[in-house]
Each structure stands twice: as structure tokens, then as C-alpha cells.
Amino acid sequence: MGEHVYEVYGALGSPYSLKMRAVMRYRRLPHIWCGVPLESEVRAKVKVPVIPVVRFGQDDWRNDSTPMIQSLEDLHPERRLTPEDPADAFLAWLLEDFADEWGTKMMFHYRWAYPEDQLPNAFTLAQQALLGRPRAQVDRAAQNMCDRQVGRMPLVGCTSHNAPLIEESARRVFGLIDRHVAEGMWLFGARPSLADFGWYGQLSQLARDPTPRALMRRDYPAAFTWVETLDDASGLMTGAWRDPGDAPSAALSGFCRLASELYLPFLAENAKALAEEKESFSATWLALPYSQTPFGYQAKCLALLKRAYAGLEDEPRRRVDAALADGPGAAILAA
């Protein structure tokens, strides 16, 4: 019987698609990278029709990158992405969730906020979906995509009101990774973790779209190299996870601080607004204002994080609390 081969249906302009492809490559799992044309029936095979879609078996089609990665952790023991220490395992999951749910705001903002970026970005995405089609068809699809995505910006919190906070958080993330490349490369030791791949997914797009690419190339060149390295880390030799008794690196400490000051409070305000049936919520983080319509999926994210936090033993929970001590994150998780 031949070796199982996964099928990964995604797009080059999708952060979660490239995240899954990078995970497959690093883990050396046999897979086929498949594009997804606009008329593809692949999306109909999953409950929520979004990419990436991965075919795990004959009739086993899945999407949502985090559960898929967790399934691969269970199925394949080699080159796993989850640190062995329970506190670090929780923090890696938290930072991956941070990337998926807040980092995507950075990606979406820079992709569609500036007029000089909008149509070129839409054309690239449309051409990838319509590869080989007539230019006039691609141009029409690009304009339709541009109009639709720019119109969706308020729905995902990417407004001019929120732009200063989103861009400040992006600069902080770029800076943390840029500095860390010279201090150890990966957040949880001598091998990439779930958190590294989560942030890679979002930065894979920021490193290719014109405005954020120019920003990274100019001010954060090591972060740009980090992205290129993680795109295909199949040849990377894995080292040990960090000693959890050692002080965290400046990058790990900085990411945990940012999660505690920004991401977990964002999730808490979102969940509160949903519980109170409010149409929107507003807050100030990093001394900058933010407001958004609440999202049900992000309330689910907080609930899952709180459940995992509650399941920690006392000693690893104390270390998680210490990592999040520079903000209200630990109190939010414990509430």
C-alpha cells in the first residue's frame, strides 16, 4: 500500500493556505499543492466554504487551519509543532490564535486600505484564480474583487478609525521577529512551533503586497528573510525545544506581552459585546482607539483558550500567568 498523500487546495494569496503548505513542507508530509479556481467545487465539500481545504482521506475533507494542524500532530509523531512543556504548548497555541484572528487584520488592512495597492492586489489574486484566462476576464474579476473586499473592510474591523492601532501592532510584530532572527530564529527553541507558522501565514502576504513589503524590506529586513526561510523549511534540522526554566527570549516575551495587552482584551470585549447583544464595541489598546462589530467565531476562540487554560496544572498555569503579567491577559483567561 502506497504512502498517504494529502491534497491541499489553496491559493497563494491566502495566508491560511500558505500556512498549511508550510506546515506540510516542514513536517515532510507527502502532499500535492492544488490551486482553487473560482468555479471549483472543492469548497462545497466542507461546511464553511473557505480555503484552505485539505483532503485527509477519500471522503475526509477539512478546513480551518488550527484543527487540521492539531490533527496532523496526532497522526504524525515526527517534527511536531507543539512544545512538550505544557505552559509553552499553551502559549504557542495562544500566539498562533493571535496571528489567525488579529494578524489577519494587519494583512487585510494593508491589502485593501491604500488606493495604490487595491487594484494591483486584486489583479494578482484574480489572475491566480483564473490562470490562463483572457486578460479582459481577469481585469473584470479583479475590479469585482476589489470592490467587494474594500466594501468588507468595516466588517472585519479594518477602518480608518482602527488603522493606527492595526499598523502599530504590525510594526511591533515585525520588530519582534526582526530582532529575534539574530537571537535564535524560532520562538520556542531550536525548531519552529505552531506560533511561528501562525505568524508566517499572515506575514507571507504582508511580505508580498506592495506597501507592507516595502516597509519590511526597508525597516525589518531580517523579518522578511524569516518569512522566506519558513516558506519551505523541509530541509531544516530540528533542534530541542527551549528549556522552560530559562528566561524567554525578547521575542517570546514581547509576543506574550502583546497578546496580554491587546489580543486577549480584544477577545474579551468581543465576547462581552456578543453576550450583551451589542452591535459594536469600542476600546483603547496600546493608547490607540479601536471599534468593531462583534464576531461569533472569535468568542469561540476565547472559550477554547479559557478551557485549555483551566485544564493546566497549577505549576504550568503559574508560568503562563508570569508570561502574561504585563497585561490583563491572565485575568481574562481565568475569568
In this predicted model, what pLDDT tens digit does every residue of 18-75 receive, in sequence order? 999 999 999 999 999 998 766 678 888 898 888 999 999 989 999 889 999 999 999 9
Give me the residues paired with residue 281 across strands: 292
Long-range CB contact pairs, 126-131, < 8 A, 24+: 128/11, 128/12, 128/13, 128/35, 129/11, 129/35, 129/36, 129/37, 129/38, 130/37, 130/38, 131/35, 131/37
Distance CA 84, CA 172 (A): 28
Distance CA 87, CA 93 (A): 10
Amino acid identity at 240: A
Spatial neighbors of 35 by CB under 8 A, at least 6 apart, are 9, 10, 11, 128, 129, 131
Q: Is the pLDDT of residue 2 over 80?
A: no
Name the grid cell of 236. 531544516
Query: How large is the average pLDDT for residues 156-176?
Result: 97
Q: Which residue has the cell 525597516?
A: 219
* Length of the chain measured in residues: 335
Kindly report the pTM of this predicted structure.
0.95
Helical ranges in 285-328 per DSSP H: 296-310, 314-323
Residue pLDDT, tens place only, 76-129: 999 999 999 999 999 999 999 999 999 999 999 999 999 999 999 999 999 998
Name the grid cell of 81. 509543532
Query: How large is the average pLDDT for residues 252-277?
Result: 98
pLDDT value for 182: 81
CB neighbours (10 Å) of residue 132?
A: 7
Report yes or no: 229 and 76 within 8 Å, Cβ to Cβ.
no
Q: Is the pLDDT of residue 1 over 50?
A: no
Give me the residues paired with residue 331 across strands: none
Distance CA 16, CA 53 (A): 10
- The rounded percent of the chain whose pLDDT value lies above 90 is 89
Q: Which CATH class is domain 6-75?
A: alpha beta
Query: How large is the average pLDDT for residues 159-172?
Result: 98
